[in-house]
A and B are shown apart, each in its own frame.
Chain A
């Protein structure tokens, strides 16, 4: 069974640009969550989607957005990039919306903003 796949794995952008990150969940999983990981702040929740609906949203500015498609694949977008957006962006999938089960994480997309 294929795991959670995130693309691209690494990318470099400059301030002011925008970026789109993609996540393909494990087959059959309908819930996708996104986290930002930085050395200073640790893992911070961005948003969660279930069956194409945003179920929860973290405390991030409106420059951060996401969506989920009918096949459960998800994308997140960051517009007007800032230096502080440099981070590892992790996607996790699960079968149900309730967080009593295991979250399966991808290896992440490492974004560097210059």
Chain B
């Protein structure tokens, strides 16, 4: 069965420091991968997605992620975080675009001033 594992439930980081949020997915011939962000009391918003092509994907708000097929990973990175990046981040996958999105359990990013 399709599954997504987010290795860290909470990540504290100082403002202007780099951050990496880790995500591993269950292997598939054709997998689509997504990162969503949820700010307090709001719904989820798409940060970026990988469907095919370049393994380095750039998203909104300065985030990027790298698709690594051999390690079945799709880690999210930002070189310098801001207080406003404090939120919960969800990694998600879909097989061939025909199955519902399966989400990881989320990583709570706390940016410390």
Contact = CB atoms under 8 A, between A and B. Distances in A.
B57 interface: no
Interface residues of A, number: 21
B42 interface: yes
Given A98-B97, A99-B99, A103-B101, 17 more contacts: A33-B100, A42-B90, A42-B105, A42-B106, A45-B102, A56-B100, A90-B43, A90-B44, A99-B94, A99-B100, A100-B94, A100-B97, A105-B43, A105-B44, A106-B43, A107-B43, A108-B43
Contacts of B90: 42-43
A99 to B, nearest CB: 4
Contacts of B45: 105
Contacts of A4: 43
Contacts of B104: 42
A16 interface: no
- From DSSP, what is the main secondary structure of chain B's interface residues? loop
Interface of A: 4, 33, 35, 41-43, 45, 48, 56, 58, 90, 92, 98-100, 102-103, 105-108
A108 B45 CA distance: 13
A45 B100 CA distance: 7
Contacts of A100: 32, 49, 51, 94, 97
Contacts, number: 53
Contact of B101 (A41, A99, A107, A108): A99
9 contacts: A42-B90, A42-B105, A43-B90, A56-B100, A58-B100, A99-B97, A99-B100, A105-B43, A107-B43
Contacts of B97: 98-100
A45 B102 CA distance: 7
A111 to B, nearest CB: 15
Contacts of A56: 99-100
A9 to B, nearest CB: 9
Contacts of A35: 103
Nearest to A56: B100
